[in-house]
Copies of this chain bind each other. A is one copy, B any other.
């Protein structure tokens, strides 16, 4: 039984009410998603400031530390204390972080919609990633399961539905929803899920990531880091997301809503049960 870190539970209000003016000249009230700064201090040293919705800040911090490879094991973390009054998350480790400066020295500004930051040489590290073989039933997906997964997401109550402008991420085991989180940054959302999995010692090999965001290089990297072999996105893809997934043997679905999708790669993890051809669109959709 691993020693679990002490965590606060500092979920903050997720929306804010504002008065706007619309095209009819009417003033009306709408809700917009919250966004707040959260500065991470690791053993009293400032690491980084994340801009977040604030839905699950402690898990976000855990996932961030893990995905940046700053902490190797959950047990190395003694506590994470989030205090919105000072917009800070204080991480206390049991034995300090070795080579802290070295690990945080190299910056890669990644794509997303933003200029994300990845510390260190993640690309190099990916060579050691081993995803479960495509022949394993738990590491594949049927078209019917994909549709059920998409339907679960369609029915999910979300901040997106009430306020727009946030990205959602979810973790599935086949079509069973295990965890769902939203954030203003989709990398925060996937980091939060990574933190949750890490906290619970959960393996990714039989899981599926769902994201509303694009399949960019970091989404593929972060998924691979946690051992998840299949990603489903409501959006499209970029070249590096595609190339990394090809190299790693990930299966990527994009443009996935209702009964529509594109499988970009990893066809061998997918059991197609094709729709009748007479429903096929005349015009090809874009990536």
State the A residues within 8 Å of B (CB): 16, 18, 20-26, 28, 30-37, 48-52, 107-117, 143, 160-167, 184-188, 213-214, 216-218, 235-242, 255, 259-265, 267, 270, 272, 274-277, 279-280, 284-287
Contact = CB atoms under 8 A, between A and B. Distances in A.
Nearest to A262: B20
B236 A32 contact: yes
Given A114-B113, A165-B287, A213-B113, A242 B24 contact: no
Contacts of A277: 24, 26
Contact of A26 (B28, B255, B280): B280
A195 to B, nearest CB: 14
Given A21-B270, A237-B32, A287-B165, A109 B48 contact: yes
Contacts of A241: 35
A263 B217 contact: no
A209 B51 CA distance: 23
A218 B114 contact: yes
A32 B287 contact: yes
A286 B32 CA distance: 8
A253 B86 CA distance: 31
Contacts of A217: 35, 51
Contacts of A235: 164-165
B184 A111 contact: yes
A139 B238 CA distance: 36
Contacts of A36: 239-240
Contacts of A238: 32-35, 165-166, 184
Contacts of A110: 51, 114-115, 185
Max chain B CB contacts within 10 Å: which of A237, A239, A265? A239
A218 B184 CA distance: 12
Nearest to A116: B114
B167 A237 contact: no
B116 A263 contact: no
Nearest to A263: B21
A233 to B, nearest CB: 10
Given A35-B238, A50-B115, A25 B286 contact: no
